[in-house]
Amino acid sequence: MDLEYFFQLFLGGLTRGSIYALIALGYTMVYGIIQLINFAHGEIYMIGAFTGLIVSSVLTMVGMPIPAVVILAAMAAIIYSCSYGYTMEKIAYKPLRKAPRLSALISAIGMSLFLQNYVLLAQTSDFLPFPSLIPDFDFWEPYAHIITSPELVIIMTTVVVMILLTFLIKFTKIGKAMRATSQDKMMAALLGINVDKVISVTFIVGSATAAIGGILIASHIGQINFYMGFIAGIKAFVAAVLGGIGSIPGAVLGALVLGWTESFFAGYISSDYEDVFAFLFLVLILIFRPSGILGRSETQKV
């Protein structure tokens, strides 16, 4: 077996897994708190990428220097994704908090459909080229044949986001409130936690990670369209379920496992059936371990 090829696939899987992880975090956090599969989460990621593209193109045409464009575009994408996530929760999920879970899920599907077609109608149905915002670093040149610098940036960003998120949940006051809410909403409210606020913050944090994922993948792949959120959202959801939904380390682990499986499967067997394999893998995992790889103890929920 060719070792270098293996290594390439390994790193490709790692990059892919990192992106899935960034999206899967939003799913798993929302699920941990209100037990809802936020079907429209993939659309938040798509809106992040679109906002990034629009803002960066406008700023480039105005004539701003590249580093400023990158930072401002990323910030705009994150702010807008968070706003969309927040608004979506207020409109489509908050009135349904006491309704059966099936209703909330159908509402989420409706939201996803709405946002996709909103972007389709307001922008375009074509693929748009996305500028590669991440430059090729000179100092990384000698290692570029193993892993390109955009890939490196993706992996590094994911690691940083993970660390920040862990810090947020483990050590801050709002993190503590989140953990309390996920365990028992009623009790948390009795102890003076503003449950509505905690839920909003969860949606905002989840949307922010999705937006980061959206910009990174868009500038890595180089094109976006209104439909990109759907399949990525499904894959990320598979990753979250794989790791045990509601558990943050589980989501990351699941995303990496999914990334590697897809990468190796596509590399060694057939790239036509890559998606089929991802879904089959999910079905198999759920049959033998319905709560996912790490989804066992309740305390791991966010």
Site residues (vs other proteins, CB under 8 A): 35-37, 47, 50-51, 53-55, 57-58, 61, 76, 80, 83-84, 87, 91-92, 95-96, 99-107, 109-124, 128-129, 230, 234, 237-238, 241, 272-273, 275-276, 279-280, 282-283, 286-287, 290
Torsion of CA 284, 301, 207, 22, to 10 degrees: -50
Helix (H) / strand (E) element for 48: namely helix 41-62
CB of 46 to other proteins, least distance (A): 10
Rounded to whole angstroms, the Cα distance separating 151 from 281 reads: 25
CB of 265 to other proteins, least distance (A): 13
Nearer to other proteins, 131 or 267 (CB): 131
Nearer to other proteins, 87 or 132 (CB): 87
Rounded to whole angstroms, the Cα distance separating 232 from 209 reads: 14
CB of 279 to other proteins, least distance (A): 4
CB of 141 to other proteins, least distance (A): 29
All residues at 6 or more sequence positions from 40 whose CB lies less than 8 Å from its CB, including other chains: 88, 92, 108, 111, 112, 115
Nearer to other proteins, 5 or 127 (CB): 127
Helix (H) / strand (E) element for 282: namely helix 274-288
Nearer to other proteins, 53 or 177 (CB): 53
Token pair belonging to 218 = 């868009």
CB of 107 to other proteins, least distance (A): 4
Nearer to other proteins, 14 or 199 (CB): 199
223-224 and 128-129 as β-strands: parallel, antiparallel, unpaired? Answer: antiparallel
Residue corresponding to tokens 């401002």: 72
Q: CA nearest 235: which of 61, 28, 20?
A: 20
Nearer to other proteins, 47 or 204 (CB): 47
CB of 105 to other proteins, least distance (A): 6
The length of the chain is: 302
